[in-house]
Structure formats: structure tokens, C-alpha cells
Structure 1
């Protein structure tokens, strides 16, 4: 490209920079917690929303709330460890809204399990959902974006555990670190199609569901695999001594964990025209947690 062929566009008007009107966003795990916060922010910006989840009731609740306020939303029940379900999500998005402009790979499983107690079943379940599922859903979405020729955005949520392991989430951390590598590869390959691919790494984030489980002492208990005896003992000890609560308060640089909407606002930034020249990046939104 010669300098004579470069034309610098006029800056967009301020009120259009965060607008997603006319765009369709697919958000996995969008029926509760962090995913629901992301769904609501993207919908407020004007996007039509396709949200996935495993529970039909939760999907219908969010879908109904969005449509009752004038939004466009479709809940799709899906297990994203299944490529067939991933294809179904993109197919239904195209059928309902005619396009896919934004994909937010938020859904994940993270069963606590010490390395020496890890089983093939737990490993495969984690990697199938958190890495393989996200990878191929991104592929299906990218193909739809290329077909419509309007470019697009793919945002893959990672975890601080990928970069600073806690010791009880080795499969989860490995899957998320693999997704970071895949994110960078996607960014390079899809650039010619004007598809921007980025990662976002949240720090410790407290949802209403997690807060309730912390208060009744059951946080993490349901996710611990059967037979992981030492993992369960370690988790129970951490909860009993209050070490986990201390980690989320006194040991955090800002004195508190993150809130779901703080992550959702960062996702909106990456999905919007505010981030029109950002690709292959990892936006860390952790309140300086990883600097401890």
C-alpha cells in the first residue's frame, strides 16, 4: 500500500462510538452471573442478543426481560462442549437476526481439583467446554461474519488462573491459557476479513450466586468432583478459616473483588467502535489483582 492510497477518515461522532444498533451479539453463558451482565450492557447499546445457557428457565427469564423493554433477544439452550450445539447457536442467530457481528465466549466450567486427583473425565469436560467449545464456536461465528462481509468482533474471556495458577484449577487454567494462544492466532488470520479478536481477563468477580454460596459456606462445593477428597478438604479449610474472604478483600489492591457490570463494561468497549484498532490484545480487568 502506498501513502497515496491511504485516506484518514473523519472521527466518528461521540454518541455513536458505543452504539451497537443493527448488530447481533452472541453471548455464551448469558443467562446468569457475569454473562447476564454482559448481555444487558450489549442490549442497552442496541444489539440484538442471542444468549446461551443450559437451563431453559433462566434463558426464558432473561429473554423475556429484554424483550419486554423493547429489546431483541433469543435464548438458545446449548452445551457448548458439543460442536453440534455450537453450530445450532450460530444457525439460530442467522435464522432469527440474519447476521452475527459479535461473539462473546463467556461460558466456562471450572471444577476445583488438585493435580494429583485430576481424572481424564474432569479434564475432558473442562477442556471440551472452555477451549474446544470456545474455539469452534468462534470458527462458526467467523465463517458467518465472513459470509456477510461486514467484519466482526470475537471476545474470549480468560482467567487470571491461566497466568497465575492457584493450584486447584489446573485444567481450567490450562484451557484458558490455550484459549489465549488461539485468540492471538485468530486475530492474525481473521484480520484480512476485518474481524477483530481479543481476550478479556477478569479478576476475582463476585456474582449474586457466588456471594450467596460464600455466606452459607457452600462456595465451590458443588463443583468439586466426586472422589477428589483432598481437594474438598483443602476447599473446606480455606472457607472455614476465612482465607478466601480475606483474599477477596484485604489482600486485593482495591480492597474488594470486581462486580459483574465492571467486566461487562469492558466487553462493551471491545465490542464497540471505541476499540476499532484493537486486535490480538488481552484486556486485564482485575483491579491490579495480578500485581499482588
Structure 2
């Protein structure tokens, strides 16, 4: 994939998945604005990219506000003269079960993930429409946003909202030639290290360089951040010009397409449904096969 001449902004790009995305875009030829709230980490990310021959600058600001979003656009224009691709990767966790989650826990995650995605996308799309040459929005989702996850009310709600933004903005931006897609990555990061089922494998990788077993990379689609970067570069490229409104999963050796929510069973009653009628029909009609929830914990196959 050749992205020479393109300019991309990646939020939360100093570490983990964001850094993998920024480096992959630069390797493909794009100039990159590395955004992060951590000044030193952003500086080090830029140094990594430029040491590999890429072009990158940092913009240190926490996403969420309209002012922060405008700064990202301005930084790209001042440094590289244009902007073509936005990757909304910035995120934080404040995990608590519902009855222990504070207003501050909820608001912090929603502000960073959901509002940050909204404000950055709005600012970039305004510019892309003026630029008149199309563009790419790549919004980072999560399996938690597709299926829910215990202890992640705020995070799951934000990521579900981002999936809805993908679908909505793909329609709104189509006439301007701007594609909008979501990626749903699963990789070894500081976030997944907090998940007990993944923690031992992430620690073994980080501390001893141990490769993930095949059953984890394939069956669970869990690998290193760099495994997710190829999808992002593809979606940023001309080859993906006809791909929009999709949520695509990636991780380890696995690539997948997530379905859009849709009705899976339907029943009708002339004159409408009374509570008693629903109770009588539930188990044998629409409620016969209830939908599952949650992210299944990885399980090593029996030997």
C-alpha cells in the first residue's frame, strides 16, 4: 500500500496500538501527526518514526474538546499542508461494576472515547469537505462495544456509540468521498493486560519475549499491536475506496467482519400485543433463541 503524499492524524499514538498505527502509516509513506496527552511519550514516538525514515510531528493535547480537535487539524496543515486520514485511537479505562462506578469514572471515559471521537471527526470532516479530495475516517472500536463486557459500563457504551457513528457518518460523508470505518482490534496492550484471562500471556510477551500460542492468535484473534496495523493501512488506502460503514475485527491471525444489529426473529399479532399474549408467545417465537452477551474468556484447548 502506497500512502505517499497523504497526511494522517492518529490520536493516542504514543504507545500500544496507536503507536503501531502511526508507524505503519509512516512506513506506507504517509506523514503523521502523533497525538497524545503524554508529551515525553509523543516525542519518543516521533523519534521512532523519523529514525525509520518517516515524517512525523507531535501534537500534545488530550482529546475531547473542540479546541483540542482544531489543534490537530491546524498541526497537520502547518506541518504538512494537508490532512487526509484521521484515526481516533485515544482512550482510557475506568473499570467498575455499575454500583461502584462514579460520575467521574463514567464521564472521563465518555469524554475521551466518545466525545473525543466526535469532536476530532467533526473538525477533520469540515476540513476534508473544504479540501475537496475525499478522505478517510478510521474509528477504533472494541469487542466490548459490540457485545458488552463485565465492569465496563462506560467503555462499552462509548465503543457502542462509536460503532453507531461509523454507520451514521458513512452515510453523511459519502457524497464528499469520505469513507468511515471502524476497526475492532484485540491485542496485547496496557489495557488488555488488566484483563485476567489475557494478563499471563501479555506479561510473558512483554517480559520474556514469548510468542503467543497459535490457539490464542487464531482461535481468539489475539496478538501484538502490529498485527492490527495492516488493516488500518488498507482502510486508509485507495484500495479501500469502496469500503465504508463497516466494523472490521482484527487481531493475531484473525480478520473478521462484525454484523450490524438487526432483527433476528419476528412475530405478529393482529391488533397488537398484550402483556399476556407476549408471555404466551415468548418462549416459542421471538424469545426462543435469546442473544448472548459478553466477551468469552480465552480458553486453551484441551490436550
Same fold (TM over 0.5): yes
Partner of 2:94: 111
Q: How far is 1:190 from its partner?
A: 0.6
State the partner residue of 2:33: 50
In structure 2, the gaps of 5 or more residues are 203-211, 257-294, 299-303
**Are the equivalent residues in 2 in contact too, given 1:130–1:175 (CA < 8 A)?**
yes
C-alpha spacing 1:246/1:91, structure 2 compared with 1 (3 Å): closer
1:261 aligns with 2:243: no
Which SS does the other structure have where 1:129 is aligned? helix
The separation in 1 between residues aligned to 2:94 and 2:51, in whole angstroms, is 35
Change (3 A) 1:253 1:20: closer
Question: 2:104 is matched with which residue: 110, 116, 121?
Answer: 121
Structure 1 stretches of 5 or more lacking a match?
A: 1-17, 212-218, 221-234
1:281 aligns with 2:278: no
Q: Does 1:78 pair with 2:61? A: yes
Q: Which runs of 4+ in 1 moved over 6 A?
A: 246-252, 288-292
- Which residue of the other structure, out of 173, 180, 185, is the alignment partner of 2:156? 173
Distance 2:249 2:191 in 1: 21
Contact 1:253 1:288 in 2 (8 A): no
* Cα displacement (A) at 1:83: 2.2
Give the structure, 1 or 2, with the largest relative contact order (CA under 8 Å, sep 6 or more).
1
- Residues 220-263 of structure 1: per-residue CA shift (max 9 Å, x gap): 3xxxxxxxxxxxxxx8xxx4xx6854899777753672211111
Report the RMSD for the aligned CA atoms in angstroms: 2.5
The structure number with the bigger radius of gyration is: 2
- The alignment partner of 2:157 has SS state of helix
SS in 2 for 1:73: strand
**Structure with more of its chain in helix, by fraction:** 1
Does the Cα contact within 8 Å between 1:30 and 1:38 map onto a contact in 2?
A: yes
